[in-house]
């Protein structure tokens, strides 16, 4: 199951999200959202396969750095309620 409660940033050396050529312009909305989706998809897939979710940490770091916390809280609430519109 997706554990939306365990959203604290993992410890370790991290600078800031690097330049992502998929989103080269000023509008970074999709960058934030895509990494949020990718994190949850990674979590879901690896959990289902019984593998470590440590590789998913990168997506978490990126969306944690880019996305406003209010957006993340809102999306997490929607995931918890089953009303999240994105495909995970």
Cα atoms in the 13 Å half-sphere on the side-chain side of 77: 6
Stretch that binds another protein, among 20-28, 42-50, 52-60, 76-84 (CB under 8 A): 20-28
- Token digits for 70? 């209010």
> Should residue 19 be labelled a site residue for another protein when binding is judged by CB under 8 A?
yes
Residue placing its CB nearer to another protein in the complex, 40 or 63: 63
CB neighbour list of residue 71: distance below 8 Å, 6 or more residues apart: 32
Binding mask 50-79 for another protein (x = CB under 8 A): --------------xxxxxxx---------
Torsional sign, CA 62, 77, 73, 28: positive
Contacting residues toward another protein, per CB under 8 A: 9, 14-19, 24-29, 31-32, 64-70
């Amino acid at each position: 199951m997706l554990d939306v409660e365990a959203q604290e940033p993992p410890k370790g050396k991290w600078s800031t999200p690097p330049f992502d050529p998929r989103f080269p312009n000023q509008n970074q909305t999709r960058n934030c959202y895509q990494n949020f989706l990718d994190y949850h998809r990674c979590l879901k897939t690896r959990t289902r396969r019984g593998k470590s979710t440590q590789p998913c940490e990168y997506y978490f770091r990126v969306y944690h750095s880019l996305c406003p916390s209010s957006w993340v809280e809102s999306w997490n609430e929607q995931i918890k309620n089953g009303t999240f519109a994105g495909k995970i």
